[in-house]
Structure 1
Amino acid sequence: MQEDRRIQYSKMVLRESLLALMKERPINKITVTDLCRQANLNRNTFYMHYHSPVHLLSSIEESFFAVIKELIERSIRDDVHVKSSFVEICEHIADNSDLCTILFSDHGNGDYLERVIYILHDRSIEVWREQMPHMDVNTLESYYSFISSGSAAVIKNWIKHGMKETPREIARFIEKVSRSVEQSFMQ
Structure 2
Amino acid sequence: MKEMKESRKTRYTRMTLQDSLFELMEKKPITKITIKELCENADINRTTFYAYYTDQYDLLRKIEDETLSWVKETLTNLIGKTDKYESMEVLEGIFQYFAENRKHIQVLMSEQGDIDFQKQLFTLIYQECGISPSATADANVSIKEDYFVFVVNGSIGLIQYWLKNGLNRSVKEMAEIIYSMSSQIR
| Alignment of 1:142 onto 2:146 | yes
Q: Contact conserved, 2:39 with 2:46, CA < 8 A, in 1?
A: yes
Give the letter for the 1:173 counterpart: I
Q: Which amino acid aligns with 2:153?
A: S
One-letter amino acid of the structure 1 residue matched with residue 161 of structure 2: N
Q: Aligned pair 1:158/2:162, yes or no? A: yes
CA RMSD, Structure 1 to Structure 2 (Å):
3.3
Output one character per residue of 1:95-144: Cα deviation in whole Å (capped at 9) or x when no partner.
22232222222222246456446544356448xxxxxx9723x4443332
Question: 1:101 is matched with which residue: 101, 106, 111?
Answer: 106
Output the CA distance in 1 between the equivalents of 2:99 and 2:145: 29
CA contact (8 A) 1:114 1:149 kept: no
Matched, 1:46 2:63: no
Q: Which has the higher contact order (CA 8 A, sep 6+)?
A: 2
2:174 to 167, 170, 184: 170
Counterpart contact for 2:20–2:38, Cα < 8 Å: yes
The residue type equivalent to 1:4 in the other structure is: E
- Tell me, in whole angstroms, the C-alpha distance in 1 between the residues paired with 2:167 and 2:101: 11
Distance verdict in 2 for CA 1:135–1:78, change over 3 Å: closer
**When the two structures are superposed, what TM-score results if normalisation uses the length of structure 1?**
0.72
Q: Which one-letter code corresponds to 1:62 in the other structure?
A: D
* More displaced stretch, 109-118 vs 46-55: 109-118
Percentage identity across paired residues of the two chains: 27
| Count of matched residue positions in the alignment of Structure 1 and Structure 2 | 175
Counterpart residue type for residue 166 of structure 1? S
Matches within 5 A, 1:55-70: 55-70=58-73
Q: Distance in 1 between matches of 2:109 and 2:127?
A: 23
The two structures have a TM-score, normalised by structure 2, of: 0.73
Change (3 A) 1:160 1:116: same
C-alpha distance 78-146 of structure 1, shift in aligned 2 (>3 A): closer
